[in-house]
Structure 1
Amino acid sequence: MPASERAPLPASGAASGLSRRRFLGTVPVAGLGVAVLTSCGDSDDSGAKDGSGRTVVEWWHISTSEPARGLWNARAKAFEAAHPDVRIKVVTLENDAFKSKLTALTSSGKLPDVYHTWGGGVLKQQVDAGLVEDLTDSVSTWIDTLVPASREPYEFDKKTYAVPNDIGAVGFWYNKALFKKAKIASPPTTWVAFLDTVRTLKAAGITPIALGGKEKWPGMYYWAYLAMRLAGVDGMQQAAEAKDFTGDAFVKAGEHLEDLVDLAPFQKGFLGAPYSSPTGQAATMGNGKTAMELMGQWAPREQAAAGKGIGDDLGFFPFPAVEGGKGRGTDVFGGGGGYALRKGAPQEAVDFLKYFVSAESERLLVKGTGIIPVNKDAQDALTDPNLKAVLAMLNKSTGFQLYLDQAYPPAVGQEVNDSVAALIAGSKSPEQVTRSVTQVAKSQ
């Protein structure tokens, strides 16, 4: 779904083993030359009061569609009922409007009390500007109830600046019936086998892959995953720190993606296709017109909303391993969403965060919207087999890479999206992609 709702992030694993995993949820953004914004200086340490003397906590979220919007708002009302001296002022914004308004507020030096964040580069900019509350001490007594992996994109220098509320990852969704029709016994586990699968599907008269090329970010997933498989999670971080993406692994990632593009695997008109619309990627997959799509855990919901959905024919498999790469096939790429507090936000804002990510709330959100919960005690509410498949992949994960257009400063992330889209369209070479991204990174 649009970058707007790519709020779900890496998911949970069992508590055991998480400490052994390496996660790149928070790239050292300073290494990419982030421009530090100017803070307004003085911060108001008390919440505003309404006419009844209640503390007002202004909460900005991006859950604009039902049932999520209704559930989010109901949680605010439930908190008010339990805390009659507090009013939660809910501001619901569509993703692009949210980003625009938040950028304006960031420039002015004043953010909402509680606001949505994807972590990574943008949050780090706000932290460096002194606009974000350090929550380390405030959440210390309950933060361990949340899956460690989900917290990574919001932590810098061992300090916590936001609290996650969902978690997830990207992988391949496939049509079991079309695989069966093409006599493909099982999903591929290596890149070479994946390309063979594409050829087999085409030979059977089946369009292999749905892609929303118009919005660019869906295509970025391929290059990012290939780069991670080739460079490894550590190699991704080293490139970010050095502001240099011209290494051999990144060039080869583009070459592997070119090999896929050369097979003409995508649906007709994919370059102009959006992600969510009756003629977009999700609908193409949801109407059974293609065999696969590379997408996050929201894919089944969007397939059913934009198309018809394919029910029990829908399956899931991890992005294949790439032969000769330093990365492991169990390293995972994805992202999620959480909430940060403005500098000087009232204690009631922290209390609301704790309430919103409690096991009780998370169970309601799981049942109502299908999120993958971050609260360990709410994971028993997850019953959807497709989401369980994503969770199983994450349980086995050995490393995590946040979406590149969120992990990096906005200009760098946008250049990754633009350059990869150009490669898929045939107007940029693998080497040109790496040079363009490097050039923008060094200019920051």
Structure 2
Amino acid sequence: MRLSRRSLMGLAGASAGALLLGACSDDATDPDGAQTVNWWHIQNTEPMLSVWAAMAREYEAARGNLKVEIQPLENEAFKAKLTTATQAGSPPDLFQSWGGGVLRQQVEAGLVKDLTADVQPWIGNLLPVSVEPFTIDGKIYGIPFDVGMVGFWYNKDLFTRAGVAAVPTTWTEFLAAVSRIKAAGITPIALAGKEKWPAHFYWSYLAMRIGGPTALQQAGTDANFDTPDLVAAGTRLKELVDLAPFQKDFLGADYSSPDGQAATMVNGGAAMELMGQWAPSVQASLSADKKGLGDKLGFFPFPAVDGGKGTVSDVFGGGNGFAVGRDAPSATVDFLRALLEAGNQRKSAATGAVLPTVRDAVDAIADPNGKAVAASLAAATGFQLYLDQAYPPALGQQVNDSVAELVAGSKTPEQVVKDITTVAKNQ
């Protein structure tokens, strides 16, 4: 799924209004008459763990007849638990979603609510690009609270120590920087090889840089990934892999564990990581002082590829949002509205962990790196949603698996696209 080509931080003009929903006769209630909303999310570390909890408690106090039962989960644990729940036909009332092909399957299975009519009084307050991954066939099935992009986060001190004076703007410059960093005795890149999805960022970006912003969308539409541009993406990624740039035992590393990708980065074990806008907050949560790298942390977009059809203004990323389960009590949508109020979005933005989707909260981004990400989004000429969310789940998983095999050295670039195409043709 590729979002429309336009300024990605364009603002809608409709003003917000309050949405007050009464309880339906079939709503689940506790013996004391309160509705209960089961809320699953993946902000299981600070700062957002306590921010979400505080918002829930504030809403409960204001409403008086609602209980929010929160279940924070680590990303992979969440996906596994949600799969079990949806296969059983029992999704939680409010749960994390990235939109795209996964949400489409949930829609087609009748597992989530159509929110289109309910959110009309206030949906105009959100940045249009943030809503698009949650819009299926013209109807809204999820609400985003965060929007951003994947890029390189780097340790300025380690770059300086290695003699890398400027961030790379081309793939050739990037490979040269990796070689120079490694020659200085510093691990160039931290990677969570075990979880696979972080590696697919590299192949996806290279596909966009080489084939242009429509290359991956077209491959999904045609069910054909066996094209010269996508083979070339794997070939360029192999150039990086051949430099052995990742930390020791990276194939067994998780993303957010105490010895995983983010921890390796924040503790000075690597000079870079390719990750989304949430990277600084995850790094901070895994640092001894809970402050992360601070001023030592910098950000730069994924480099251009010489001769490619894409540019650095074509971005890869997406948003975090929430979908509402089909049997959720009516108060769930009003609680979701409260989470997206400008005041609450400003609180989220102030943590540095969220790039807000509400237009009136965008100016609350204080972190310079957050501002850099927002500026890149504002200048974007094309946008591609994460492939493991944009495509149907089986196809997205195959992308992750195949790229992981390339990074591990067990598959060639040609084998990667053939394996992905085989699954695509069976969707």
Tell me the equivalent position of 1:48.
28
Q: Distance in 2 between matches of 1:236 and 1:344?
A: 35
Q: In the alignment, is residue 338 of structure 1 matched against residue 321 of structure 2?
A: yes
Q: In the alignment, is residue 352 of structure 1 matched against residue 347 of structure 2?
A: no
Q: Distance in 1 between matches of 2:403 and 2:176?
A: 23
Identify which of 395, 400, 407 aligns with 2:390.
407
Q: In the alignment, is residue 15 of structure 1 matched against residue 10 of structure 2?
A: yes
Q: Distance in 2 between matches of 1:324 and 1:45?
A: 62
The structure-2 alpha-carbon separation of the partners of 1:93 and 1:262, relative to structure 1 and needing over 3 Å to count, comes to closer
Q: Distance in 2 between matches of 1:93 and 1:287?
A: 24
8 A Cα contact 2:97 2:323, kept in partner: yes
Q: In the alignment, is residue 167 of structure 1 matched against residue 147 of structure 2?
A: yes
Q: Counterpart of 1:115 in 2: which secondary structure?
A: strand
Tell me the equivalent position of 1:298.
278
Tell me the equivalent position of 1:135.
115
User: Which stretch of structure 1 is more off in the superposition, 186-195 or 307-316?
Assistant: 307-316
Q: Counterpart of 2:277 in 1: which secondary structure?
A: coil
Q: Distance in 1 between matches of 2:34 and 2:217?
A: 46
Q: Distance in 2 between matches of 1:51 and 1:367?
A: 38
Tell me the equivalent position of 1:311.
294
Tell me the equivalent position of 2:20.
none
Q: Distance in 1 between matches of 2:359 and 2:82?
A: 31
The structure-2 alpha-carbon separation of the partners of 1:183 and 1:105, relative to structure 1 and needing over 3 Å to count, comes to closer
Q: Counterpart of 1:339 in 2: which secondary structure?
A: strand
Q: Distance in 2 between matches of 1:300 and 1:90?
A: 24
User: Which stretch of structure 1 is more off in the superposition, 122-131 or 246-255?
Assistant: 122-131
TM superposition shift of 1:376 = 1.0
Deviations 1:108-163 (A, max 9, x none): 33323222212112211110112221111111121111111111111111211110
Tell me the equivalent position of 1:234.
214
Identify which of 303, 314, 318 aligns with 1:320.
303
TM superposition shift of 1:357 = 0.8
8 A Cα contact 1:47 1:57, kept in partner: no
TM superposition shift of 1:13 = 5.0
- TM-score for both structures, normalised by structure 2: 0.89
1:352-431 superposed matches below 5 A: 352-368=335-351, 370-431=353-414
Q: Counterpart of 2:243 in structure 1: which amino acid?
A: L
Q: Counterpart of 1:200 in structure 2: which amino acid?
A: R
Q: Counterpart of 1:376 in structure 2: which amino acid?
A: R
Identify which of 180, 184, 194 aligns with 2:160.
180
Deviations 1:55-101 (A, max 9, x none): 33333323323342322122122112222233334344444443333
Number of residue equivalences: 408
Deviations 1:143-192 (A, max 9, x none): 11111111111111121111011122110111222222333221111111
The structure-2 alpha-carbon separation of the partners of 1:264 and 1:55, relative to structure 1 and needing over 3 Å to count, comes to closer
8 A Cα contact 2:182 2:188, kept in partner: yes
User: Which stretch of structure 1 is more off in the superposition, 221-230 or 301-310?
Assistant: 301-310
TM superposition shift of 1:223 = 0.5
Q: Tell me, which stretches of 5 or more residues in structure 2 are unaligned?
A: 1-6, 14-23
Q: Tell me, which stretches of 5 or more residues in structure 1 are unaligned?
A: 1-11, 19-43
Identity, % of aligned positions: 56
Q: Counterpart of 1:333 in 2: which secondary structure?
A: strand
Identify which of 66, 78, 81 aligns with 1:101.
81
Q: Distance in 1 between matches of 2:12 and 2:183?
A: 43
Q: In the alignment, is residue 274 of structure 1 matched against residue 254 of structure 2?
A: yes
Tell me the equivalent position of 1:38.
none
TM superposition shift of 1:369 = 5.9
The structure-2 alpha-carbon separation of the partners of 1:96 and 1:258, relative to structure 1 and needing over 3 Å to count, comes to closer
8 A Cα contact 1:45 1:344, kept in partner: no
Deviations 1:318-341 (A, max 9, x none): 000112222221111112221112
Q: In the alignment, is residue 202 of structure 1 matched against residue 177 of structure 2?
A: no
Q: Distance in 2 between matches of 1:82 and 1:393?
A: 38
TM superposition shift of 1:353 = 1.1
